[in-house]
Structure 1
Amino acid sequence: MQMCEDSQSRAQTVAQVTGALEGRPGRFAITNARKVDAQGIEDDFWLISLGGRIEATGCGLAEFEATCRKLGMDPADGSLVRDAQGRVLTPGYIDIHSHGSWEYSFDDGPQAIDTARAGHAVHGTTRQVLSLITNPMNDICDNLRTVRSKMDTRPDILGAHLEGPFLALTRKGAHDPQCLRDPEPALVDQLLEAADGCIRQITIAPELPHGLSAIRQFADAGVVPAVGHSDAGYEIAQKAFNAGAGIMTHMFNAMNGLHHRKPGPIPAAVEDPRVVIELINDGFHVQDPMLKLGFDFAPHRVAFITDSMAATGCPDGAYKLGALDVDVEDGHARLVSNGAIAGSTLLLEVAIQRAVLELGIAPALAIEAATLTPAKAFGFDRPNPVTGVPLGLLAPGYAADILLTDPASWAVQDVWCAGRKLR
């Protein structure tokens, strides 16, 4: 297998990111930035971070200096105050559907999680829901326990997303057909017990015999069910959302498409204001004309996701998705067995670059799709027991998840998560 980069350099990056996240948050300020978040764009923007949360924000040097004095900070202290020099300041990106990077999947154990998270963190994804692939039930339960344990020491891990095993055989995509199951109540209980509260979402085909009852069961347990990898039509999808499903898994992919006499599940999600709609903005899973159309379907409810797998950040070559062999060519991952698309090699950094520079999406709307909207999917835009403080905006009281980005290329240059400097 080809290596993503020099192994020693990658190991140093993993150690740096992991160590920072396990440490204490710092105190710092950023001035002279161009703020872009879901609330809009502001120039000459500044913020002050204390204890992992944003303490104060504003515009203009005079107000910054006055606020510093109130907080007992020296506004001229170069060790605490960072001059952004007009660069773009955004909230950290939140990926609610990703399987890994840097040769590792989130199913592969604690060290694999550290490595795969670092591959996304240095590109601006400050928080991530770790997606676990379809596997035998015992393996899924073991992987959930690992994610739950990791959450105790890492604020960047928001929990787990189960993409399987409750998927339609006809829409399985790159999932192992031998491991697909009907979501009988006992199986749901088994997953919930193993997870100990760490499951954030689970993708379910609602047309399965126990699909709708499982959606209710998961929703009652505080999990957000997602409709996806499904052969459902419009009416079944409606029933799923009314039963408690709150997400559509990667719209357009692994589901019935739009048809004027068979509308399929997409209109059911679009017309329901309770539903957050995932979209893979890589130009491959969904072609650009449909990406732009899909982004406009449900304003403020589209969340960019990566659906990234182990080859993310790596050269073309042979990789694994669960137990299945994957070949990556020109950055596109397909199963060796049947050529099915096997996730992506996308980063949210690239999704934002594509949205702003290629698709012409307004920067504030693009940033919203990678920050506030995915946070809203789980109520993380409000104070909550998982993150403590809300996520998704550059505003007082929100987590100090912050990116400094080049204004021309939208390449991420500096990264903080919960007030901890990752890059």
Structure 2
Amino acid sequence: MTRISGRIVTPSGIVTGHLDVDGSTIAAIVPDSAAGDDVIVPGFVDLHCHGGGGHTFTTGDPEAARGAAGFHLSHGTTTVLASLVSSPFELMRSATLAFRPLVDEGVLAGIHFEGPYLSAVRCGAQNPAYLRDPAPGEITELIRTGEGAVRMMTVAPELDGALEAISILRDAGVLAAIGHTDASYDQTHAGVTAGASVATHLFNGMRPVHHREPGPVVGLLSSTATVELIADNIHLHPGMLAFAARSAGPERSILVTDAMDATGMPDGEYELGGQAVVVTDRVARLTRDSSIAGSTLTMDVALRNAVAAGLPLQDAVAMSSTTPAWLLGLADRGALSPGLRADLVVLDAELRLKGVVRGGGRVS
């Protein structure tokens, strides 16, 4: 039995006490006024991550994927989707085959295809050479090849065939996300009606809000979709992060990193989806047009930034762990409660990382 003491953030409130771990499971949470000032939160669940620690998910290399997952695990992300960027179908298929054993092993929780069925007008750091309209045959083959490994795909709902693609994903139990889109408000709602349930990094890669045409941002906030928010204070101003999170609520908001391989690495030259990227003072930008190209964020920093933006700690924890776990259908994790898997992160009183436990085993 392992005992961890501090301020324990549970679904029903913050308990000052100790948390007992028996094997891989949380055995008990017991109040204790002398438990100390550490903050204990559930392991982070990141649904949108392209790499980190010098390793990338985007090339479909399983060893690189293992390295990226390990880097983010050391920062508290105990559950991660491997996000790819727009690429030829051959790479999408080979990556699915390569990552499937890592999903079976539990290194990855699944695969997220961010593209290639995206808007050229709102491509952001996506490689325009690979963008195309949705192809139902490709999507069906990827789902079949993955045997459950494909968990999310981002689609622009205004494209020809997009609503059919979203319906295929929904019917297969794959999260359909709306992103990199120039859709109108009505087209966005049509995508949600067809089955889309996630907004890929809300605001970023989307038509801006206008009072006569609200566009996808307001369309998504006013729908049932859960919105991704990149809490690096670069993609979103802290005030906008807080506004969106309060508008959707913690049950419909999730923190993501959108991290690339440069995360945790020195400034310099990198690559994303076949495009040159330069990282300067934490900010990654394409060399061709200075578009923001992913982030250098980790989930522990995202949580701290969300709280600094004015969100209550319990809400930020729900957004970084509970809500994304629920979205993935992972009922065994995402919260601190007896009987759940012992995935947890120990932070100091300033919410800086002190330790990580995954499945009852100490990582750091």
* Same fold by TM-score greater than 0.5: yes
- Following superposition, the deviation at residue 156 of structure 1 comes to 4.3
Separation in 2, partners of 1:293, 1:116 = 31
What corresponds to 2:104 in structure 1?
152
Contact 1:124–1:349, Cα closer than 8 Å, also in 2: yes
Structure 1 residues 310-346: Cα deviation after superposition (integer angstroms, max 9, x where no partner): 1000111000112111001111011111211110001
Structure 1 residues 372-411: Cα deviation after superposition (integer angstroms, max 9, x where no partner): 111122222x2xxxxxxx2111101211101111112x11
Separation in 1, partners of 2:58, 2:24 = 29
Separation in 1, partners of 2:211, 2:182 = 17
- Following superposition, the deviation at residue 51 of structure 1 comes to 3.4
Q: Does 1:189 align with 2:131?
A: no
1:136 to 69, 75, 88: 88
Pairwise CA RMSD: 1.6
What corresponds to 1:35 in structure 2?
8
What corresponds to 2:211 in structure 1?
260
1:214 to 162, 165, 169: 165
2:73 to 107, 115, 121: 121
The DSSP-based 3-state class of the residue aligned with 1:94 is: strand
Contact 1:206–1:236, Cα closer than 8 Å, also in 2: yes
Contact 2:49–2:83, Cα closer than 8 Å, also in 1: yes
Separation in 2, partners of 1:126, 1:352 = 14
The DSSP-based 3-state class of the residue aligned with 1:55 is: strand
| One-letter amino acid matched to 2:8 | K
Q: Which runs of 5+ in 2 are unaligned?
A: none
The DSSP-based 3-state class of the residue aligned with 2:121 is: helix
Q: Which runs of 5+ in 1 are unaligned?
A: 1-26, 62-82, 383-389
Contact 1:103–1:319, Cα closer than 8 Å, also in 2: no
Contact 2:177–2:200, Cα closer than 8 Å, also in 1: yes
Task: Write the mapping of 1:41-120 to structure 2, written as runs, cut at 5 A.
Answer: 41-43=14-16, 45-60=17-32, 85-108=36-59, 109-120=61-72
Task: Write the mapping of 1:347-366 to structure 2, written as runs, cut at 5 A.
Answer: 347-356=298-307, 358-366=308-316
| One-letter amino acid matched to 2:191 | A
The DSSP-based 3-state class of the residue aligned with 2:291 is: coil
Contact 2:155–2:179, Cα closer than 8 Å, also in 1: yes
Q: Does 1:234 align with 2:206?
A: no
Q: Does 1:325 align with 2:276?
A: yes
Separation in 1, partners of 2:281, 2:121 = 27
Q: Does 1:414 align with 2:342?
A: no
Separation in 2, partners of 1:332, 1:159 = 27
Separation in 2, partners of 1:418, 1:170 = 43
Give TM-score scaled by structure 2 length: 0.95
Give TM-score scaled by structure 1 length: 0.83
Separation in 2, partners of 1:84, 1:143 = 46
Structure 1 ranges of 4+ moved more than 4 A: none
Contact 1:156–1:417, Cα closer than 8 Å, also in 2: no
Contact 1:39–1:364, Cα closer than 8 Å, also in 2: no
2:340 to 370, 373, 398: 398
- Following superposition, the deviation at residue 194 of structure 1 comes to 2.4
The number of equivalent residue pairs is 362
Larger Rg over CA atoms: 1
| One-letter amino acid matched to 1:397 | G
Separation in 1, partners of 2:272, 2:187 = 30
